[in-house]
Homo-oligomer: A and B are copies of this chain.
């Protein structure tokens, strides 16, 4: 999709958990929580509070209210996306619920841009959320059990990101989006989801380059969502096979958010990973003139505990969104 109106990112907000606050990007987020409960009685309620506050913060930064918003597009990892649903209940904006696993931030950005560029909306609020503890006990093991995690496993980011998109105004612009296909190379190890998602990321990325007739160096930075270090390596390899050579300008939000010393193994993951790194880090870097063209590629592993128990492999998906600084140029 090439957006002729190029929707504007009017504001962005991010709130993260304590572990993310201790990471290399710790000082770029709007708020770092002191604990995982955030004064709530359950992790699920904490996640809903984080998401709602992030949404409200994005609105406040844009000096807009819920009444100004034509649509809310959001999703998360909890069963039946209750985090997004209950956040939408509080905001009372016409709501489009999404599920793209950890690709949801980019799915919401792509669809939100279409709503504006297509003339259906003036303002759209988009976002995604995840929480380490709600994800851990839902997808893996009871948190209290303290199961040792594989070195290829990633840590679900506690955090939410939200963006206000507008038809007009000042800010970075969304110029293109590429919606991904579901790709499955037959990887079935739920402790290595980066490798499971990498083929989808490579497929979407290569299609995006082909559609736009550009090479990777068109972008100042290319950031996949949450492939972690093994997934990133695999993307580089898959692209090499197609004679597309990625350099250090290709990074991954799951690698950026944690430091190896934090015992987070292959990196960060979860809907919140690409959401907070995009809102807290990438867009700030662009606003400060250090990046002029970003290609963000949200990546999602489309499994459930049930599908894994029934012997299924892990299909992946990836959605790419191109963002340009208002001034243009590289």
Tell me the A residues contacting B by CB distance below 8 Å: 1, 41-42, 44-45, 71, 75, 77-82, 85-86, 88-89, 92-101, 107, 111, 114-115, 117-120, 138, 178-184, 302-307, 310, 312, 315, 317
Contacts and interface: CB of A to CB of B under 8 A. Distances in A.
Nearest to A107: B96
Contacts of A178: 94
Contacts of A45: 310
Contact of A1 (B101, B120, B182): B120
A74 to B, nearest CB: 10
A85 B307 CA distance: 11
Contacts of A99: 75, 80-81, 97-99
Contacts of A79: 79-80, 304-306
A86 B307 CA distance: 9
Contacts of A98: 96-99
Most chain B C-beta atoms within 10 Å of own C-beta, residue among A1, A79, A178: A79
Contacts of A77: 80
B302 A82 contact: yes
B107 A114 contact: no
Contacts of A115: 114
Given A80-B101, A82-B303, A107-B97, A184 B71 contact: no
Contact of A95 (B41, B92, B97, B182): B182
Contacts of A88: 181-182, 302, 315, 317
Contact of A181 (B82, B95, B114, B310): B95
B44 A95 contact: no
A77 B99 CA distance: 11
A5 to B, nearest CB: 11
Nearest to A3: B120
